């Protein structure tokens, strides 16, 4: 039998009364499904279907045989040095994080306070909304038009922080770098260009780093480098901003094994580029095959395709694929519920996906 005090504590907990009201009110961010058995074909969370460079496993084993009893380098300089060389910037232009999501958290926490304006176009990466809600910030969400250009209302919006995923997720579309510079110049606040998928794209805003005091670029090792399981991402930005962000991070936010892995992956850059080329080729083939089946896909610069589903519709296709152990991403949200997002897999996965789709929508094999 629970005491009165215990019952009181239970009810407070269920009502979320111990946490800040904005957290009690908000919906939890829902990551894509991660089944634990291996029988699934996972085309839902934009992971790279190919393994990372063999040098990564060697580096992890070597690091594991070393000083795991000691904390890692707080600034992950082994990674920063390599990035500085790769992008012809200074080590101090970079901040490394526990995945790109850690960088997004650090940036939002550093910039947006209660009631500050956080802006982004929509639909986009849903974590921006979650992070703004955590800060009790005000959200300025501006819908993309059909061309997925930067919406005019974002220019000079007065936001303290603007997020722009380029290429965007879920659409896969990209905007010209010139427009990004124009956006940065129009803002009094900071602009974070989220380039988690930039290695699959034709262009990058990396050359703007240092040319606009308010512009930072985020990159991830999860997609092009096949290291989603290790959680490494980084920010490139003006030294003054990076040193401020460093105050808001956890002291040791990148562990020794992940740091060694990221350094080894950077040392084998060509391996990553080859995988990216394969994925870009498969992206083209998958888009053409979907077109022939009556899907209508947005032009993708990423390792996934967002596509409008013909009859029987997106939800039904998602569910039917799932019952056959193939996962794609579907959001039951306004302006998104006619589409599914399909990660570009290996050729074998793409073939299996397409033959299953043909069976589901009752089309003839082409």
Ligand X SMILES: Cc1ncc(COP(=O)(O)O)c(C=O)c1O
Phi, psi dihedrals of residue 42, rounded to the nearest 5°:
-95, 100
For ligand X, the closer CB: 72 or 100 = 100
Q: Which is nearer to ligand X, 127 or 286 (CB)?
A: 127
Distance in Å, CB of 101 to ligand X, minimum: 4
State in angstroms the smallest separation of the CB of 280 from ligand X: 18
Q: How far is the CB of 243 from ligand X (least distance, A)?
A: 22
Q: Which of 317, 297, 299, 321 is CA-nearest to residue 308?
A: 297
For ligand X, the closer CB: 139 or 363: 139
Return the residues of window 343-362 that contact ligand X according to CB under 6 A. none
Q: Which residues fall within 8 angstroms of residue 220, CB to CB, at 6 or more apart?
A: 99, 100, 196, 232, 233
Query: Site residues for ligand X, window 73-102 (CB under 6 A)?
Result: 99-101
Least Å distance, CB 32 to ligand X, is: 8
105 forms part of the interface with ligand X (CB under 6 A): no
Pick from 53, 108, 169, 173 the residue near ligand X by CB under 6 A.
Answer: 169
**Nearer of residues 46 and 297 to ligand X, judged by Cβ:** 46
- Residue 177, CA distances (Å) to 93, 167, 170 in order: 20, 11, 19
* Cβ closest to ligand X, residue 29 vs residue 293: 29
Nearer to ligand X, 46 or 255 (CB): 46
Q: Which stretch binds ligand X (CB under 6 A): 19-27, 51-59, 220-228, 250-258?
A: 220-228
**How many residues sit in the footprint of ligand X (CB under 6 A)?**
13
CB of 44 to ligand X, least distance (A): 11
Whichever of 306 and 353 has its CB closer to ligand X, that residue is 306
Least CB distance to ligand X at residue 266 (A): 15
Closest separation between CB of residue 102 and ligand X, Å? Answer: 7
Please count the other Cβ atoms lying within 10 Å of the Cβ belonging to residue 149.
13
Phi, psi of 25 (to 5 degrees): -80, -30
* In the complex, least distance from residue 223 CB atom to ligand X, rounded to whole angstroms: 7
Report d(CA 253, CA 72) in Å as an integer. 9
Q: Return d(Cα 70, Cα 61) in angstroms, integer.
A: 16
For ligand X, give the closer residue by CB, 93 or 222: 222
Please report whether residue 165 would count as binding ligand X according to CB under 6 A: yes
**In whole angstroms, how far apart are CA 211 and each of 119, 198, 236, 336?**
22, 19, 12, 35
DSSP string, 3-32: -HHHHHHHHHHHTTTTS-HHHHHSPPP-PP
Q: DSSP assignment of 144-162, as one string?
A: --TT-PPPGGGTT---SEE
Contacting ligand X within 40-69 (CB under 6 A): 46
CB 68 within 8 A of CB 211: no
Q: Under 8 Å CB-to-CB from 178, ≥6 apart: which residues? A: none
- Selected from 142, 196, 216, 263, the binder of ligand X by CB under 6 A is 196
Q: Which of 121, 172, 233, 238 binds ligand X (CB under 6 A)?
A: 233
Question: Could you say which of 208, 228, 235, 336 contacts ligand X (CB under 6 A)?
Answer: 228
Given the complex with ligand X, which of 228 and 361 has the nearer CB atom?
228
Q: How far apart are CA 116 and CA 112, in angstroms?
A: 6
Nearest to 72 by CA among 267, 265, 264, 258: 258
Between residue 109 and residue 138, which ones bind ligand X under the rule CB under 6 A? Answer: 125
Distance CA 299, CA 285 (A): 13
Q: State whether residue 243 is helix, strand or coil.
A: helix
Q: Is 220 in the site for ligand X (CB under 6 A)?
A: yes
Where on the chain is the footprint of ligand X (CB under 6 A)?
A: 46, 99-101, 125, 165, 169, 194, 196, 220, 222, 228, 233
């Amino acid at each position: 039998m629970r005491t009165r005090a215990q019952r009181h504590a239970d009810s407070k907990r269920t009502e979320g009364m111990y946490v800040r009201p904005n957290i009690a009110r908000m919906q939890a961010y829902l990551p894509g499904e991660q089944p634990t058995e291996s029988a699934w074909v996972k085309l839902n969370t934009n992971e790279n279907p190919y393994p990372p460079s063999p040098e990564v496993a060697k580096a992890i084993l070597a690091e594991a045989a070393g000083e795991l009893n000691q904390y890692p380098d707080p600034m992950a300089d082994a990674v920063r040095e390599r990035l500085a060389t790769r992008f012809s910037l200074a080590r101090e232009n970079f901040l490394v994080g526990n995945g790109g999501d850690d960088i997004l958290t650090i940036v939002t926490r550093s910039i947006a306070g209660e009631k500050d304006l956080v802006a982004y176009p929509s639909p986009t990466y849903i974590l921006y909304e979650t992070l703004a809600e955590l800060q009790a910030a005000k959200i300025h969400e501006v819908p993309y038009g059909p061309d997925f250009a930067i919406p005019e209302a974002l220019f000079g919006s007065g936001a303290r922080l603007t997020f722009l995923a380029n290429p965007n997720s879920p659409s896969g579309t990209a905007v010209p770098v010139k427009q990004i510079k124009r956006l940065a110049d129009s803002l009094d606040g900071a602009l974070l260009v989220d380039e988690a998928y930039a290695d699959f794209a034709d262009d990058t805003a990396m050359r703007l780093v240092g040319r606009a005091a308010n512009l930072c670029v985020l990159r991830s090792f999860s997609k092009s480098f096949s290291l989603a399981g290790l959680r490494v991402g980084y920010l490139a930005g003006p030294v003054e901003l990076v040193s401020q962000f460093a105050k808001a991070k956890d002291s040791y936010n990148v562990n020794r094994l992940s740091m060694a892995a990221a350094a080894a992956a950077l040392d084998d850059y060509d391996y990553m580029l080859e995988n990216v080329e394969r994925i870009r080729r498969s992206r083209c083939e998958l888009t053409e095959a979907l077109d022939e089946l009556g899907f209508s896909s947005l032009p993708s610069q990423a390792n996934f395709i967002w596509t409008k589903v013909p009859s029987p519709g997106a939800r039904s296709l998602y569910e039917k694929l799932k019952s056959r152990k193939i996962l794609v991403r579907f959001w039951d949200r306004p302006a998104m519920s006619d589409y599914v997002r399909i990660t570009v897999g290996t050729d074998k996965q793409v073939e299996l996906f397409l033959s299953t789709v043909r069976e589901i929508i009752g089309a003839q094999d082409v």
